[in-house]
Every structure is written in C-alpha cells, then in structure tokens.
Amino acid sequence: MTTPLLAIERLTRDYTLRGAGSTPRSLRAVDDVSLDVAAGSIVAVVGESGCGKSTLARIVMALDRPTGGTVRLGGDDLFALSPKALARKRRDFQMVFQDPYGSLNPRHSVGRIVAEPLHLLDDAPRGRDRQALVARALEDVGLPARAAERYPHEFSGGQRQRIAIARALITNPKLVVADEAVSALDLSIQAQILRLILSLRDRHGLTVLFITHNIGVVDEIADRVGVMRAGRLVETGPVREVLDHPREEYTRTLLAAEPTLAVLGRRARRG
C-alpha cells in the first residue's frame, strides 16, 4: 500500500474558553480526526462554519499545535521536528487563504509578494534568477510576467487569488492547503480558480487539501472528500461515492442546501 503524502492520525484540538466571571470551560474544535491525502490528489474537507475545518487546516500548516494526534508530511511528524527542522520543512507545504484582499500586503509589489516564501530555501535565487522564477510562477497561474511590477489594489479579487496561488507554488511545495480559497469570489470567478487548481494538479502533480463550506464546489474538483461536523469527520470516501450515495443524514442535508453549486463543480471539470 502506498504511503500517503499527508497522514493525519487521531487529531484533537481543545481550547479553554474563559468569560468574565464565568468558570473556564473546554471546547473540542477537532475531535479524533484521521485523514490520508495521497500524492497528486485533491482531497476536500467540507462542513458548515464552526465545524473545525479551518482549525484542522491551521494544524496541518503547523500554525497551531494539536492537543493530541499526529500530522505526518512525507513521513515526518511535523510536531516532533525541532523549530529549525520545521522551518526547513515549510518549503514543502504552503497555504492559500480565503481573503484575496487581506492576504496580500498592499504596500508590497506583486513580485515581492510572490517571492516571499523563497526565504525558506537554502539556495534561494537572487537578482535576475529570482525575477525569472517569479515571472514563471505568475505565468503558471495565468498572469503576465509584468504583473510583478504592479500592486495588489490594481487587480480584481480573482486575479489577487491567482497571485496568492503563485506565492504558494513558488517553492515547489509537495502540499498546498487551500482554506476557503474561492468562497470570497463571485461564482464565475470561482469556476476559473477551480479550473486553475485542476490544471496545476494535472500539469505539476500538485497535492491539495481543499477546505470549503460549499459541498457543490467539491463536486468533481476533489478525488476524495471528508464531511466534517462538530469537529469530527462523519463521512469520508471517493467524491462520487459520497456525493451520489451519501450514508449520513448530515451529508444529505449539505447537498440539499447547495444544489446550484453542483453545476459549478461540473463546469470546472469540463473546463
């Protein structure tokens, strides 16, 4: 059996809630979650707001620590690594955030923004080599190389998300975590970004953990899907199996609530 690129095992995350004059109480945001992501695949985690999926994404990105369980990337337990080793490992996993407006520094040129993760490379290119790498990254996401000289406010929301994707890809990572990466965009722009993600997977063997609250977006962009509710994965499996023959009532409820977005997923697949 092939070892998965990303292996999440028995993951939990507890938070302590403290209110003025009240007794502290514990909230379990992620509850015994296990999930494998094969290299070159797109695996979606879908659920309503507050179900724990973004907390899961932050833990996979080692932006938060779990209360229990492990996250292995390429066989390495991220939370067993020393700070220095984890810093080196970060070149292998990058994130695309939800907000295409707030995730890009408005004071920096697009070229500087896209080049930000290069500091993770021991042999980071400089000068013209760096400029050429930024240009290739921009062209890879459908933007002209000259976009590097401009600033975020000069671009639309969809174009800004392409810039964010270029930034995520510049270190040639093994894994990209996309946390609600299309939810802030209009439907037609969502379809364009979905097509781009599929194209990048097909051209580069990109592996994606795709976090979303829209089950229709999952339709055919993902190879596998996990349905998350109240911190737990209640159903997982191949996307066609889960969406066409859901076992759980909660999955059927999500499908009933998002009927129009199923068209979006099919449109992305057809290109």
Instruction: Report the CATH number at residue 210.
Output: 3.40.50.300
Residue 143 in any domain: the answer is no
Q: Is residue 256 part of a domain?
A: yes
Total domains in the fold of the chain = 1
Within a domain: 121: no
Where do we find the tokens 């609250």? 213
pLDDT in tens, 29-59: 999 999 999 999 999 999 998 899 999 999 9
Classify residue 98: in a domain, yes or no.
yes
Name the residue range of residue 98's domain: 6-102+175-270
Nearest to 79 by CA among 64, 91, 93: 64
Q: Is residue 180 part of a domain?
A: yes
* In a domain? residue 77: yes
Strand, helix or coil for residue 270: helix
Integer Cα distance of 60 and 16 in angstroms:
21
Question: Under a CB-based contact definition with an 8 Å cutoff, are residues 175 and 75 in contact?
Answer: no
pLDDT-derived band of residue 236, with 50, 70 and 90 as boundaries? very high
Beta carbons within 8 Å of 86's beta carbon, 6+ residues apart = 62, 78
% residues pLDDT > 70 (the chain): 93
Tell me the per-residue pLDDT of 57-74, one tens digit each, with 9 for 90 and over. 999 999 999 999 999 999
Q: Which residue has the higher pLDDT, 229 or 270?
A: 229
pLDDT the model gives residue 168 = 95
Q: Is residue 246 part of a domain?
A: yes
What band does 24 get if pLDDT is binned at 50, 70 and 90?
A: confident
The model's pLDDT over 71-101, given as tens digits with 9 standing for 90+, comes to: 999 999 999 999 999 999 999 999 998 877 7
Q: Does some domain include residue 66?
A: yes
Which stretch of 45-54, 109-118, 204-213, 260-269 has the lowest confidence by average pLDDT? 260-269
Q: State the average pLDDT for the chain.
A: 89
User: What is this structure's pTM?
Assistant: 0.90
